[in-house]
Amino acid sequence: MKENRLQRLLDQAEQHNSALVAVNVSNVETIKAALHAAESTQTALILQVAPLQLDFQGIDYDEFVELVSVLARRHNVDYALHLDHAEEVEHCLRAIDAGFDSVMFDGSKQSYDQNLQGTKAVCYAAHRKQVLVEAELGRVLGNEAGSDEPSLDDVYTDPQLAKAFVEETQVDLLAVAIGNAHGFHVGPPKLDFERLNQIRLSISRPIVLHGGTGIPVDDIRQSIALGVRKINYFTELDSTFMNAIKQEAKENPSALMIQSFAKAQRALSDDIIAKMTYCSSAILGKATTPLASTSSNAYQPHVTASAQTEEVIA
């Protein structure tokens, strides 16, 4: 039976009471930036891609698995590959067949029953191939939400419903809505830690926090202490990359594409390092999953953790 890389990393995170940083990647630059960050901090990570990102890039599931594995070859990095926010069962099945370690079926915009049935179908296919499944219960609002926002009681994850959902679907990880949101926030989000604690007590599963952008470091730490084992970062990392390109274009209008992309890659790597530093050191003050050894020809990081570490993630 093949080993599931994510399961191993989640077991380690649980042991150390820390969380894995999940970074959305979609092309050579973003994959390399994430690998560099993981290698230079000796910290495991989750590389994830959403079907929408694959569509934009014109890359299919098989190609993406190969691309990541080719680029990871020269790096001494412990990672797992995850499909993020798949709203169609079909997309999950394609990722399972292609060799992803885990898939997220996002039925959070559907009815509870549709979410349950979709998650069940994905779990059935995934578990036969030792692939893990993440589902979302409640709704993480933000960029993807419609204009008429529902009331908080309708969108926050209900601990009792979470228990029933996990038992019925046998889903492996659960993404929760406890005040977190996708995208940039007007002010710091107010997380409902009491609810998070109740969810943790109701389900014996690793909890996933989407919308890491904008959550203050102390709140991230408290979430980890209350059972969050995977934290998704997208918006802030995406804007770090884009801002570096814009900056280069402003300062050096004749810059070549490869020059501005190299700068963006370094900026992104730096930002991921900062996030890994506080997510993985939340309790123990050391890396989540230190690697056994570093090969002699390992990548020499050209970036170092920035002073952002202790600041609020804006």
Question: Which residues of this chain interact with Zn ion, rule CB under 5 A?
Answer: 210
Would you say 120 or 139 has its CB closer to Zn ion? Answer: 139
Task: Classify residue 27 by its DSSP letter.
Answer: S
Which ranges of 170-280 does DSSP label H, i.e. alpha helix?
Answer: 193-202, 217-225, 235-251, 257-280
**Which neighbouring-strand residues pair with 102?**
82, 132
Would you say 45 or 287 has its CB closer to Zn ion? Answer: 45
The CB-of-183 to Zn ion minimum distance in angstroms stands at 10
Quick check: is 84 catalytic?
yes
Residue type, 259: Q
**Residue linked to tokens 């990570």:** 45
Count of Cβ atoms closer than 10 Å to residue 61 Cβ: 20
Structure tokens at 174: 């659960």
Would you say 54 or 244 has its CB closer to Zn ion? Answer: 54
**Which neighbouring-strand residues pair with 106?**
none
The CB-of-195 to Zn ion minimum distance in angstroms stands at 18
Q: Which residue is nearest to Zn ion (CB)?
A: 210
**Which neighbouring-strand residues pair with 175?**
136, 208
Active-site residue identified among 11, 55, 62, 84: 84
The CB-of-210 to Zn ion minimum distance in angstroms stands at 3
Would you say 110 or 294 has its CB closer to Zn ion? Answer: 110
Q: How would DSSP label each residue in 89-117?
A: HHHHHHHHHHT-SEEEE--TTS-HHHHHH
The CB-of-71 to Zn ion minimum distance in angstroms stands at 24
The CB-of-293 to Zn ion minimum distance in angstroms stands at 34
Encode 7-19 in three state secondary structure.
HHHHHHHHHHCCC
Task: Classify residue 307 by its DSSP letter.
Answer: G
Would you say 89 or 287 has its CB closer to Zn ion? Answer: 89
Active site residues: 84
